[in-house]
Amino acid sequence: SQTIHQWPATLVQPVGSPLSLECTVEGTSNPNLYWYRQAAGRGLQLLFYSIGIDQISSEVPQNLSASRPQDRQFILSSKKLLLSDSGFYLCAWMGTTATGELFFGEGSRLTVL
């Protein structure tokens, strides 16, 4: 069966520090991968999506970047965090069968101080 893992689960970082959130999917190949950010009262905002290695699209201009070094690994990064980067980050995947369902990881809570 397919599983998705995110880490770290919780992160507290000072303003100006770098960030790396990792997401790995197991049990499937060539999945579409997504990074969403959830802010209180604002639902989920799509940040990046990837349909393959080195194929990453950014949805919102911001202080973050994404990379996909392997087929089933998706990384969210920042060189210098801002206070506004605080939030709950969710990684998700959709299989190649395109059922329309996104499978979400457990999320990473980032607090920037």
Partner 1 sequence: AQSVTQPDIHITVSEGASLELRCNYSYGATPYLFWYVQSPGQGLQLLLKYFSGDTLVQGIKGFEAEFKRSQSSFNLRKPSVHWSDAAEYFCAVGAISWGKLQFGAGTQVVVTP
Contacts with partner 1, residue ranges (CB under 8 A): 32, 34, 36, 41-46, 49, 51, 59, 90, 92, 94, 98-102, 104-107, 109
Closest separation in Å from C-beta 17 to partner 1? 23
Q: What is the DSSP letter of 103?
A: E
Closest separation in Å from C-beta 79 to partner 1? 26
Place of tokens 């604002």: 42
Quote the CA–CA distance of 93 and 102 in Å, as a whole number. Answer: 6
Our CB check for partner 1 shows the closer of 83 and 98 to be 98
Quote the CA–CA distance of 13 and 81 in Å, as a whole number. Answer: 8
Our CB check for partner 1 shows the closer of 17 and 57 to be 57
